[in-house]
């Protein structure tokens, strides 16, 4: 199956535009006084629930957390462990998102923990009608995951 067919198959029951809208709303809550960069994310659980998150920075810098991990942490802490997709929007504060904000390496690995890399869809969006689709496996090939530890 080529890339387009594979993504088309994975994205079937995913409300792409609703996820992007949710991520855009979440981005408004970003706490990013240091970088001035605002990110919003929305994850879809296997049960079709949506959890959102924003980036939250810290004066000590290293405790900062990305929007994607905020969203995943909220969902996991509510008991949801399997996910189908994530939408991500990001860009400098107060500007419309005219760039595609890809997830950082740490967030890719955290998504990997709770997703099948061949099925999970990453939606990197500038807005509701302008987005790119990837499987997690494309963004994190040959990944290390729970199976390596026998889980």
Among residues 59 and 149, whose Cβ is nearest to ligand THU?
A: 59
Catalytic residue flag (residue 68): yes
Paired tokens of 43: 């994850």
Nearer to ligand THU, 6 or 141 (CB): 141
Alpha carbon distance 132, 16 (integer Å): 11
Find out whether 40 and 88 touch, Cβ atoms under 8 Å.
yes
Q: Does 42 bind ligand THU (CB under 6 A)?
A: no
For ligand THU, which residue of 37, 113, 143, 145 counts as binding (CB under 6 A)? 37
Alpha-carbon gap, residue 38 to 27, rounded angstroms: 6
DSSP character at residue 147: G
- C-beta of 27: minimal distance to ligand THU in Å? 9
Please state the closest distance from residue 18 (CB atom) to ligand THU, in A.
20
Nearest-CA neighbor of 86 among 145, 143, 10, 150? 10
Q: Is 119 in the site for ligand THU (CB under 6 A)?
A: no
Catalytic residue among 18, 47, 57, 68: 68
Q: Is 57 a binder of ligand THU (CB under 6 A)?
A: yes
64 makes contact with ligand THU (CB under 6 A): yes
Q: Which helix (H) or strand (E) holds 86?
A: strand 83-92
Residues carrying an active site annotation: 68
């Amino acid at each position: 199956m080529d890339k387009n067919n594979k993504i088309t198959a994975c994205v079937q029951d995913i409300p792409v535009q609703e996820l992007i809208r949710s991520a855009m709303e979440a981005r408004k809550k970003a706490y990013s006084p240091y970088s001035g960069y605002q990110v919003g994310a929305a994850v879809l659980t296997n049960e079709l629930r949506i959890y959102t998150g924003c980036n939250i920075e810290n004066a000590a810098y290293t405790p900062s957390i990305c929007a994607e991990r905020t969203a995943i942490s909220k969902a996991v802490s509510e008991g949801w462990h399997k996910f189908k997709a994530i939408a991500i929007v990001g860009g400098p504060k107060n500007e419309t998102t005219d760039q595609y904000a890809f997830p950082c390496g740490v967030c890719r690995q955290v998504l990997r923990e709770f997703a099948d890399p061949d099925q999970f869809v990453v939606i990197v969006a500038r807005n509701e009608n302008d987005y790119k689709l990837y499987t997690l496996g494309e963004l994190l090939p040959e990944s290390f995951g729970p199976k390596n530890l026998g889980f």
